[in-house]
Amino acid sequence: MTQDFAEHVIKGLQEKRDNIAAGVLAGTLDHERYKFHCGEIHGLDLAVDHIKAVLEKIEENDDE
């Protein structure tokens, strides 16, 4: 159940990241919006990495 939840959250965060990245790559943003969206992308990447690390830790503890 925990893994299903984590995978669902990760998928949602990655979809949000991809949508933001598409806007950045379009090259139509002014400098301030570009920086803001780059920060959002970075934050979403950090969130995904953290969720994956927590999920891995849970799986390790379940194996013990």
Give tens-digit pLDDT for 1-46: 788 999 999 999 999 999 999 999 999 999 999 999 999 999 999 9
Domain count of the fold of the chain? 1
Query: Beta-carbon neighbour count of residue 12 at 10 Å?
Result: 12
> For residues 64 and 59, which has the higher predicted lDDT (pLDDT)?
59
pTM: 0.85
**Side-chain half-sphere exposure of 60, counting CA atoms within 13 A:** 6
Residue 63: band (very low, low, confident or very high) from pLDDT cuts 50, 70, 90: confident
Q: Residue 48 corresponds to which tokens in the numbers above? A: 């995904």
For 11, the domain range is: 2-63
Question: In angstroms, rounded to a whole number, what is the distance separating the alpha carbons of residues 32 and 60?
Answer: 42
Question: In angstroms, rounded to a whole number, what is the distance separating the alpha carbons of residues 39 and 35?
Answer: 6
